[in-house]
Amino acid sequence: MTQPHDYDSIPGTYVYDAERGRIGYPLNMFCMSLNKAENRKAFKENEAAYLDRFPLTAEQRRTVLERDWLGMLKVGGNIYYTIKIAFCDGLTFQDVAGMMSGVPKETYAKMMLAGGRTPDGNRYKDTDAAAEDE
Amino acid sequence: MAKIVAGIACSHVPAIGVAMDKGQTTTAYWDPLFKGYQPAREWLAKLAPDVAIIVYNDHANAFSLDIIPTFLIGVADRFPIADEGFGPRPVPAVQGHPELAWHLAESLILDEFDMTIANEMPVDHGLTVPLSVTCGQPAAWPFKVIPICVNVVQYPPPTGARCFKLGQAIAKAIETFPGELRVVIYGTGGMSHQLQGERAGLINRQFDTAFLDNLTKDPLSLTRISHTEYMREAGSEGVEMVMWHVMRGALGEHASEVYRHYHVPASNTAAGLMILDNRSAS
């Protein structure tokens, strides 16, 4: 059963709560394994075979193999864990943040240099609530 | 008796550590951030504390999701540097203070804070970046360190109010330690940032400024900020600021601000630093 949360109204945000924790556990534990150099090597050599060691769902597997960073969050990935795949690929937090928010790396970097994404208009999902967003 | 002489609030962005480790601190991107750290380093070097209690969160390094301690204290005499997925940071290992750490663990548990006790654990950027920020790049860290970990990765983290009370209990425990020790306490993480989802990159300078102001003006009002308010206003990872309340709760009511530095961006994050003098604050 999915209970509503007051944070569900925050747009573009995937709170790593009990529900995501339940479905995301195997995916995140695979990511955790990449803290070891020998596992990073094995993963890079044959990603699909390495993933066989973990009981991921087909969709979780797909998001990893396709580096669908946003998709990983939707199937229970936690950013502190999924970022370890990015580190394996030689990417930075900022590279992945840009990809998740759907803009080119340069555009994202420019936004951050200009002070970051403003909270104005980004506090609530629906427009009615956004009217209170000042 | 031991005494808490200062509190330090400090963001712990991994990229700040990388910039130091790769010698990039004077580039156009990083220079304004690192220039602002220098006065804090000088102040802390002059203060020369014996021990630092560093309140931070582990980021899937010492712990994963198999066991998730809400509050944990490290009692080892040495903490190695974690491999976070790209090799350990080239910084000195952290020396603990087992005697004071065990005293804290006992005192806190009997004071109804049910701490998990760690005899062995690596420490990640959550702890080492604030050390680098405030101490620079010495061959060995200039003081002993007691790590206190707070879960902020699996929702829900402990509330800000609970964190503040933990700080108060830490202060009480320090006062009953028989050794003559001068202790600083770090609250780390924050400030506003969001690392995930389509809303990644959120920064709220107004929220952060008010938060920094209220650390001295009205710290109790800050303890009433809900997790949802942190996430909505300061980004999903902005909720890390609950850890600052542990630090603030450990200081006297009249702790005074001696230094502040705030800079956007450090990678995806608003980096904040504040030093609070606790020497005449009771």
Contacts of B159 (CB under 8 A, 6+ apart): B223, B227, B242
pLDDT-based confidence at residue B27 (cuts at 50, 70, 90): very high
Burial class (CB in 10 A: 0-12, 13-18, 19+), B221: exposed
Q: pLDDT 10s per residue in chain A (134 long)?
A: 567 899 999 999 999 999 999 999 999 999 999 999 999 999 999 999 999 999 999 999 999 999 999 999 999 999 999 999 999 999 999 999 999 999 999 999 999 999 999 999 999 998 555 555 54
Which of B84, B201, B232 lies nearest to residue A123, judging by beta carbons? B232
Residues of chain A with CATH 1.10.700.10: 13-91
Nearest-by-CA chain A residue for B13: A93
- From the candidates B33, B129, B149, B198, which should be mutated to test the interface with A, based on the most A CB atoms within 10 A? B198
> Is pLDDT above 60 for B140?
yes
Q: Is the dihedral of CA B33, B87, B135, B128 positive or negative?
A: positive
pLDDT of A126? 80
Q: What is the pLDDT of residues B243-258, one digit of tens each?
A: 999 999 999 999 999 9
CA B195 to chain centre: 19
B194 — contact with chain A (CB < 8 Å)?
yes
Beta bridge partners of B271: B263
Burial class (CB in 10 A: 0-12, 13-18, 19+), B192: buried
Task: Please compute Rg for chain A using Cα positions.
Answer: 17
- Tell me, yes or no, if B119 comes closer than 8 A to chain A by beta carbon: no
Q: Which residues of A touch B199 (CB under 8 A)?
A: 10-13, 101, 117, 122
Which residues have a Cβ under 8 Å from the Cβ of B230 and sit 6 or more positions away? B238, B239, B241, B242
pLDDT for the residue B51: 98
Q: Of residues B281 and B143, which shows the higher confidence score?
A: B143
Is B125 among the catalytic positions? Answer: yes
Tell me which chain A residue has its CA closest to the CA of residue B192: A116
DSSP string, chain A: -PPP-GGGGSTT-----HHHHHHHHHHHHHHHHTTSHHHHHHHHH-HHHHHTTS---HHHHHHHHTT-HHHHHHTT--HHHHHHHHHHTT--HHHHHHHHTTS-HHHHHHHHHTT-B-STT-S-SSHHHHTT--
Interface test with B, best of A34, A43, A79 (most B CBs within 10 A): A79
The answer to whether B161 faces chain A, any CB pair under 8 Å, is: no
pLDDT value of position B80:
98
Whole-angstrom Cα distance, residue B253 to residue B260? 18
* Partner A, chain B 53-72, Cβ-Cβ below 8 Å: 59-61, 64-66
Rounded CA-CA distance A27/A68 in Å is 13
Q: Which of B12, B97, B193, B227 is catalytic?
A: B193
**In Å, how far is A8's CA from the nearest CA of chain B?**
9
pLDDT of residue A132: 54
The whole-angstrom separation of Cα B114 and Cα A67 is: 40
The ipTM assigned to this model is 0.94
Q: State the Rg of chain B over Cα.
A: 17
Calpha distance B197→B199 (Å, rounded): 5
| Four-residue CA torsion sign, B226, B232, B236, B240 | negative
Q: Chain A residues with CB inside 8 Å of B264's CB?
A: 112, 115-116
For chain B, the domains span: 3-277
d(CA B76, CA B84): 20
B115: how many CB neighbours lie within 10 A of its CB?
22
DSSP assigned state of B227: H
Whether this model's pTM surpasses 0.90: yes
B28 at the A interface (CB within 8 A)? no
**Tokens 């005192």, located at residue:** B107
Average pLDDT over residues B100-129: 98
pLDDT at B179: 87
Chain B closest-CA separation from residue A118 CA (Å): 6
| Average pLDDT over all residues of chain B | 97
Q: Output the pLDDT for position A134.
A: 46
**Residue ranges of E strands in B75-198:** 78-79, 94-95, 116-118, 144-150, 182-188
Residues of chain B contacting residue A124, judged by C-beta atoms under 8 Å apart: 232
Confirm whether B227 is a catalytic residue. Answer: no
Q: What's residue A131's pLDDT?
A: 53
Domain B3-277, CATH number (from 3.40.830.10, 3.30.230.70, 1.10.472.10, 1.20.1250.20): 3.40.830.10
Contact B170, B53 (CB under 8 A): yes
DSSP assignment, residue B80?
Answer: P
- Confidence at residue B85, expressed as pLDDT on a 0 to 100 scale: 84
In the numeric block, which tokens belong to residue A53? 């060691």
- Give the one of A12, A80, A112 whose C-beta lies nearest to B265's C-beta: A112
Give the best residue of B149, B195, B196, B269 to mutate against chain A (max A CB count within 10 A).
B196
Residue A1 CA to residue B251 CA, distance in Å, equals 43
Cα B250 from chain centroid (whole Å): 13
Angle (nearest 5°) at CA A17 between A13 and A23: 100
- The answer to whether the beta carbons of residues B3 and B182 sit under 8 Å apart is yes
Query: What is the CATH topology of the domain spanning A13-91?
Result: Protocatechuate 4,5-dioxygenase; Chain A (1.10.700)
Question: What is the rounded average pLDDT of the residues B258-274?
Answer: 97
In angstroms, the CA B43 to CA B134 distance is: 9
Q: Do A29 and B267 lie within an 8 Å CB cutoff? A: no
Tokens 């008796």 correspond to B1
Instruction: Pick B200's closest partner by Cβ from A81, A84, A97.
Output: A97
